[in-house]
Amino acid sequence: MNTSIKTQHEHGTSRESDVIYISLKGIQGLAKKSLAFLFSTQANRKYELVDDHPDAIFIIDFDDFRGKAAWDEMQSHKQASSSKPTILIGLDPINEEGVVSLQKPFRTQDILTAIDTLIEQREEQAQALHNRYPGNSDVVSGKESAQQHKPRMSSSAAASLNEKELHAFIGSAADIDLDDPAAIAAVQYSPERFLAHHLGKMTQVALKERKYLQLGCCDTLFIVDPHKQCIHTDASPRSQRSLGALPMTGKSPAYEKLTKLPADMESRQQCFSWEAFIWRLALAGARGRLPEDTSLDQRYVLRRWPNLTRLMLFPHATRISAAWVSAPLSLREILKELAVPQRYVFAFFSAASATGLLVEAEPASTARKEKPSPDQPSQRRGLFRRLLKTLYRKQGDNRA
């Protein structure tokens, strides 16, 4: 029996083409109801659970005999099913090629991100097909075609997040009680499980030693080029959020040194600014959370301003940068001083830490400029506020 769940599209429309078909294999009872409920609560997507559909995304429970049987059957018809987008879930790490795997327990956001990843992969395959057969209008829509022709630039202008992206990259968690250990634990995540952490570490080594370093992860290669200060990869800009957001399963990826850049990577000429790339991935992984074991009382300082004109910008990022570059501050101090929603500070902390820009302050670091005391407000604060308002309006105009 098909279970149909229809939620309204973000703007009240519900085009048939927007439906995401999901086929569950080996997922029954409460687990099925939970997933059905999860999909029904996604305001910006319309999901439909089906037994089978040519465009379905399969979610298979590897721990259930029916799921295992369904997977075995798909494998036995591999030629026909090779393009079927599949998410395998299981208690143990699953090493199957060509699928997305999630280790239990996982967060609901992980499964939504995994679905997004598969949709993006399918769209990319459709685009690749369209490039091969450009006359076939059935293969890819006009909108997708236009996107394909956008030049891939290693360094593009700052992208300010729209509302949907804000949710995807910063999350929507409410502020917590900073004196409640349980509440703090709930907004922490393990950066080691995400790509940005490993890529960040590797980039610091590559830049310091001036060596090409390569890391393979998630069916994708990443090579840090210390001379061009960028990361070569064949991952498309569209798939980067998924790469950053999906927790890795299995062993931590290891990097290797290369004596030179492989010719095929060089010929592709797709090299992303390392800072912008890691920043974006880190935001996607953190989603407004803090790395676990982060002390709220340890003071941190920015080594330099992040290159904000080329990074994924979110509210308060400039202000947080200014505060953390001018004085060593703990999370508790900066939250109190700026009084902005915690998730923005947590997101900034995660991204700036992954890029290596935010570091623990040395106890003796007092050389930095003293900030004006809050009880002696700048005489020109009123003017600056009005000026900022005008500037933000211009940013809005620019985006429109």
Q: What does the binding site for other proteins look like in residue numbers (CB under 8 A)?
A: 154-155, 157-158, 160, 227-229, 304-305, 307-310, 313, 318-319, 321-323, 325-326, 337, 339, 367-369, 371-372, 374, 377-378, 380-381, 383-392, 394-395, 397-399
Secondary structure, 3-state, 33-62? HHHHHHHHCCCCCEEEECCCCCCCEEEEEC
Q: Which is nearer to other proteins, 126 or 261 (CB)?
A: 261
To other proteins, the closest distance from the beta carbon of 164 in angstroms equals 19
Which residue type occupies 363?
P
On whether the CB atoms of residues 87 and 111 are closer than 8 A, the answer is: yes
The residue among 133 and 392 lying less far from other proteins, judged by its C-beta, is 392
CB of 224 to other proteins, least distance (A): 14
Nearest residue to 184 (alpha-carbon basis) of 283, 108, 105, 293: 293
> Is the Cβ of residue 50 or residue 205 nearer to other proteins in the bound state?
205
Per the structure block, which two tokens stand in for 206?
């590559």
Q: How far is the CB of 258 from other proteins (least distance, A)?
A: 19
Nearest Cα residue to 289 out of 181, 179, 187, 395: 187
Identify the three-state secondary structure at position 96. coil
Of 118 and 329, the one with the shorter C-beta distance to other proteins is 329
Please identify, using beta-carbon distances, which residue of 248 and 352 lies nearer to other proteins: 352
Rounded Cα–Cα distance for residues 250 and 254 (Å): 12
Question: Taking the complex as a whole, how short is the minimal distance between the CB of residue 178 and other proteins, in angstroms?
Answer: 20
Between 60 and 302, whose beta carbon lies closer to other proteins? 302
Q: How far apart are CA 133 and CA 139, in angstroms?
A: 8
Please check whether residue 139 is in contact with residue 129, taking contact to mean a CB–CB distance below 8 angstroms. Answer: yes
Minimum separation from the CB atom of position 382 to other proteins (A): 10
* Other Cβ atoms within 10 Å of 237 Cβ, number: 16
- What is the smallest separation between the CB atom of 221 and other proteins, expressed in angstroms? 23
CB of 347 to other proteins, least distance (A): 18
Cα 376 to chain center, whole Å? 40
- Which one-letter DSSP state was computed for residue 1? -
Q: Which is nearer to other proteins, 283 or 302 (CB)?
A: 302
